[in-house]
């Protein structure tokens, strides 16, 4: 130890060692992830005068909170599967493992299968994703608590989308979901102050920060929110007035709720003029409460009807642009989707996330 180092606190010395790893090549993303974990969990960032881990990542490394947490999760997942083949070499492999990363046995099995598919070599992200789908059990309907009861919902946000939304919304902390459903928007992260509006009381009651209200007449002042993050109904077969009394596996908003929907609930609207008129009004109202310079994140998906693809996503983004938003970018994401019903073999196997901004200063 040099004379200069002898004056450094143990915490600062540990921080410097971990920063050396991050600085050097970010040798591998696994080593970087573990260094970040130690810095966060042991509060080593405080030795350099930072009051929070998020601020440390942003100001020291220019790294968003979401990217830091993804890197740490990748390191943990890599260690989990490394006994079953070489450690993953890149984040794309670990992103493919994300659906089972909280289930150690399934993650290990999927990685081992992917390595076997690759004849013992490093598997591609596609091979990992295929292995994950083979080991994943079929998933039951999404349910949430409503008092002592559980309420199903056929189209809650996929949990894997939430970190993607969080990265898109960084710097826009006050977020509204005007079609909140069971309230998964509130899982966006501690950096966000989320509010949900939901028309059906049973679904609204699934989270304390969701209000019973109508997206056509939001109970907020103009320019009240930094961002809108929303996944509207797609106008597909989930809008059927389906209320099975048998062992049918078909899903619908009506069937999952167990009663007829409110007349202003788009969950009962098929793709067509009524659906489009409703959403044009709902988007105009959403933009009223979005501040100038605010962000609009839209999660949407096309579907097949009578053998043809309904242009749902294109209509939504075009309508938002006509209402005054500027499209920043679109991100396609592969999804499994329901594999039952009349169009089970003709699915659109990806959904889209559009990021748009409202004119004005941030």
| CA angle, 359 then 210 then 141, to 5° | 110
Cα gap 307→310, rounded to integer Å: 9
Residue 188 buriedness (CB in 10 A; 0-12 / 13-18 / 19+): buried
- Total-model pTM: 0.55
Cα gap 128→124, rounded to integer Å: 6
- Give residue 49's pLDDT: 87
For residue 200, give Cα distances in angstroms to 206, 209, 212. Answer: 11, 14, 7
Cα gap 279→325, rounded to integer Å: 15
Section 61-90 average pLDDT? 72
- Three-state secondary structure call for residue 174: strand
Tens-digit pLDDT profile for residues 89-143: 676 677 677 667 666 677 788 888 888 888 878 888 778 878 877 776 654 445 5
> In CATH terms, is domain 142-358 a member of 3.40.50.2020?
no
For residue 95, give Cα distances in angstroms to 73, 75, 100, 124. Answer: 10, 11, 10, 11
Asked whether the predicted pLDDT for residue 313 surpasses 80, the reply is yes
Phi and psi dihedrals of 81, rounded to 5? -100, -10
Q: Give residues with Cβ within 8 angstroms of 20, minimum separation 6.
A: none
Asked whether the predicted pLDDT for residue 160 surpasses 50, the reply is yes
Span of 40-49, 74-83, 199-208, 266-275 with lowest mean pLDDT: 74-83
Cα gap 110→101, rounded to integer Å: 10
- Give residue 302's pLDDT: 78
**Where do you find CATH 3.40.50.150 in the chain?**
142-358
Q: Give residues with Cβ within 8 angstroms of 156, minimum separation 6.
A: 142, 144, 181, 182, 184
Assign 283 a pLDDT band (cuts: 50, 70, 90). very high
Dihedral of alpha carbons 12, 13, 15, 16, sign: positive
* Residue given tokens 């053998």 in the structure block: 307
Asked whether the predicted pLDDT for residue 258 surpasses 50, the reply is yes
DSSP for 271-320, please give it: TTHHHHHHHHHHHHHHHHHEEEEEEEEEEE--EEETTEEE-HHHHHHHHH
Other Cβ atoms less than 10 A from the Cβ of 148: the count is: 5
């Amino acid at each position: 130890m040099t004379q200069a180092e002898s004056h450094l606190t143990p915490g600062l010395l540990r921080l410097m060692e971990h920063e050396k790893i991050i600085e050097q090549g970010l040798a591998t993303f696994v080593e970087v992830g573990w260094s970040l974990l130690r810095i966060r969990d042991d509060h080593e960032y405080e030795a350099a005068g930072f009051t929070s881990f998020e601020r440390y990542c942003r100001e020291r490394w220019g790294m968003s909170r979401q990217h830091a947490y993804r890197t740490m999760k990748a390191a943990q997942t890599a260690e989990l599967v490394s006994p079953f083949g070489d450690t993953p070499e890149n984040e794309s492999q670990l992103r493919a493992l994300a659906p089972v990363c909280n289930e150690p046995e399934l993650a290990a099995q999927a990685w081992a299968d992917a390595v076997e598919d690759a004849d013992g070599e490093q598997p591609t992200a596609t091979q990992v994703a295929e292995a994950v789908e083979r080991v994943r059990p079929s998933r039951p309907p999404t349910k949430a608590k409503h008092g002592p009861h559980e309420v199903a919902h056929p189209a809650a946000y996929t949990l894997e989308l939430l970190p993607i939304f969080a990265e898109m919304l960084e710097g826009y902390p006050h977020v509204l979901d005007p079609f909140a459903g069971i309230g998964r928007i509130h899982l966006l992260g501690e950096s966000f102050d989320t509010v949900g509006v939901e028309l059906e009381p049973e679904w609204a009651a699934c989270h304390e920060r969701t209000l019973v209200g109508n997206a056509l007449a939001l109970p907020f002042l103009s320019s009240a929110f930094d961002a809108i993050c929303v996944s509207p109904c797609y106008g597909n077969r989930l809008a059927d007035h389906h209320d099975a009394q048998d062992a049918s596996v078909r899903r619908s908003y009506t069937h999952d709720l167990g009663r007829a929907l409110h007349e202003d609930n788009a969950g009962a609207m098929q793709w067509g003029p009524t659906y489009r008129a409703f959403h044009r009004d709902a988007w105009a109202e959403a933009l009223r409460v979005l501040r100038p310079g605010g962000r609009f994140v839209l999660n949407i998906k096309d579907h097949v009807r009578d053998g043809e693809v309904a242009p749902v996503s294109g209509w939504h983004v075009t309508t938002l642009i006509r209402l005054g938003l500027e499209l920043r970018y679109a991100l396609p994401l592969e999804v499994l989707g329901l594999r039952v019903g009349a169009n089970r073999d003709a699915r659109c196997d990806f959904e889209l996330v559009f990021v748009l901004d409202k004119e004005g200063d941030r």
